[in-house]
Amino acid sequence: MIRVLVADDHPVFRRGLVGVLSEESDVEVVAEAGDGDSAVALVSELKPDVVLMDLHMTGSGGIAATRRLTDDAPEVAVLVLTMLDDEESVLAALHAGARGYLVKGASGDRILKAVRAVAVGEAVFGADVAGLVLGRLTAERRTTRAGPFPMLTDREEEILTQIALGRSNTEIARHLVVSDKTVRNHITNVFAKLGVTDRAQAIVKARDAGLA
């Protein structure tokens, strides 16, 4: 069972989305939130597997909430579902740690597939934003010199360093005193932000940047 929290400040849309999700036998909507602060508090209490996150909400918005969830509960996958499809919003969500990004208007089937994908650690982007994300991240990696990987959180860069040292997930989990699942979720975020698909590519990037 995939436990989902829906965060959106439009009640009508939120109820419709909950209705679509609730029809599935493998999905359970555990809570709804109308703003980012409520979403963060509910995640801390209920520990869902996936948060469907709108970006433009009253109070604490989706970007800030996603960043807090990525830092505090990396095992929870944030899937952005929003009207915003501009470059700044997409990249801000990705840098904050979102594991997927869909634009409202996506079909119910597409949303369900994305929920199931991010729940098992995959990164998902709608076709309308995927090219933008990959192109911009490639450009950033080539031009940004503020740090080797400014798109990563401190913990993500720490785990990337451990990967570059050749350590397994279990060894990394033991070293950082976290669970194997937490390490796997962090690695999924690292791969998405670096634009790599496997450990070998991540190691090359990390070692080229002098992390190990």
Here the CATH number for the domain that contains residue 150 is 1.10.10.10
HEC letters along 58-72? CCCCHHHHHHHHHHH
Interhelix angle 180-194/87-96, nearest 10 degrees: 150
Q: Which of 103, 134, 165 is the endpoint of a domain?
A: 134
Average pLDDT over residues 100-108: 91
Does residue 77 lie in a domain region? yes
HEC letters along 7-62? ECCCHHHHHHHHHHHHCCCCEEEEEEECCHHHHHHHHHHHCCCEEEECCCCCCCCH
Does residue 105 lie in a domain region? yes
User: In terms of pTM, does the model score above 0.95?
Assistant: no
**Per-residue pLDDT tens digits for 18-66:** 999 999 999 999 999 999 999 999 999 999 999 999 998 877 789 999 9
pLDDT at 98 > cutoff 80? yes
Confidence of residue 152 (pLDDT cuts 50, 70, 90): confident
CA-based nearest residue to 157, from 110, 92, 97: 97
**Per-residue pLDDT tens digits for 80-97:** 999 887 777 888 888 899
Q: Which tokens go with 208?
A: 């080229």
Number of domains observed in the structure of the chain: 2
Q: Could you tell me the residue range of the domain that residue 88 belongs to?
A: 2-134
**Alpha carbons 71 and 207: distance in angstroms, whole number:** 24
